[in-house]
Amino acid sequence: MTTITALSVQERFHHSEPGCAWRLSSALLRHVPFGRQPVRFVCIGTDRSTGDSYGPLTGTALGEQADFPFPLIGTLEQPLHALNLEQKLNPVGNPADVFTVAIDACLGKAANIGQIIVEDRPLMPGRAVGKSLPPVGDLSIKGVVNAALGDGHEALRNTRLHLPFMMSRLTARAILLAWHRHESKAVQDARHSGND
């Protein structure tokens, strides 16, 4: 679970707005170097806390897609959390130039609950609950699952599962849509260059 900090480029999308998956996929197309360098998706969180399940729910939804072509770390079955984060993210032989998209739940203002935030910077997992973990990712996708009031652990435990579930499904759909849009454009570009 991540805290929201100062930002560079940030784009926000509310999961319930019509067309959210398309707009989120457009943001991902602008920021993720599909086809230009290796990409992996890192989904942080745990199924032991409903509010902190956004990451592993997203990872599970992506992993259920037979055509998902990218390395994926963090699912409901094999969650990526504070206790195994450094071990799982730094295996021997991991390519140095891999572009990491990090996905995690966060707490924010009550008015922002339900928003999905894309930032072109790493996220800081565990900060909202007082953990000191290394930054993760080149691009972050954060889901605001509850308000940052009082105890962060309590806020996450008292989050209804429905919200992170719906947000995770939309996020996974947008990621797949971004990849398919990239592939379609590559095919169209190849056809046009072949007709020249």
The residue written with tokens 């806390």 in the block is 49
**Lookup result for tokens 């942080």:** 44
Short-list 129, 130, 136, CA closest to 104: 136
Encode pLDDT of 35-70 as tens digits: 999 999 999 999 999 999 999 999 999 999 988 999
| Orientation of helix 162-194 relative to helix 20-31, angle to 10° | 60
Each residue of 125-144: pLDDT tens digit?
Answer: 876 666 778 889 999 999 99
Locate all alpha helices (DSSP H) within 10-157, ordered by sequence: 20-31, 54-63, 85-89, 152-157
Residue-range domains of the chain with CATH: 2-184 (3.40.50.1450)
